[in-house]
Structure formats: C-alpha cells, structure tokens
Amino acid sequence: MIHFTCDCCKRVIDLDHEVRYVLRMEVFAAADNCDASMDDDRDYLQEIEDILSRDEADEELGSDVYQEVRFDLCAECRERFLSNPLGRIAAVELGFSNN
C-alpha cells in the first residue's frame, strides 16, 4: 500500500479516513517587457522551448525561467494554505475601543 505524508506538517495521511489534497504550483518568467515594435516573425514559443530543453549543464537557467512543484497536503494544511497562500504574516490587529 502506498503511504502519503503531508509535505507541510509531515503527518501521515490516512487515506481510509481522510482526503489527500495535491497542490501544484508553477513559477515562470513573465514576458512583460516585450516591445510591440519587435520582429513579429520570431517564434517566441519555440525560443522558450529551446531554452528549457537545453542540456543539464544549463539546468540552473531553466529553473530561473520555469519551475513546477507538487505537494501533498492534509485537510488542515490545505485550509491553512488557502487562507494565506503567499504565507504573509498577518498584521497585528489592534483592539480599539468603541469611543
């Protein structure tokens, strides 16, 4: 039998009694700085594919351009992730009186 562990809290996920959630994330370089006057005959998708398919010596460059990761989460860690997906520290709430 395959055993799954939550990648966040490291707890074993019991598939007989709970649901396992899969989180997939992609991070890739945005092409926001493309100039509209650029040559329209260029195949930009082919250029990106060529960069990503370079040999393993250039793997560091590839991870700077595109990276995909996958995590297994338990229900509690899923809720925690969905409530704060970027992991920002919540601002301290100040308790003001109703004056």
Which sequence spans correspond to the domains of the chain? 4-83
Q: Are 3 and 12 in contact (CB under 8 A)?
A: yes
**According to the model, what pLDDT value does residue 23 have?**
97
The residues with which 12 forms a beta bridge, in sequence order, are 5
CB 64 within 8 A of CB 29: yes
pLDDT score recorded for residue 97? 72
In this prediction, residue 55 carries a pLDDT of 58
One digit per residue, pLDDT tens: the chain, 99 residues?
Answer: 789 999 999 999 999 999 999 999 999 888 776 655 555 678 888 877 777 776 554 555 567 788 999 999 999 999 999 999 988 876 666 667 776
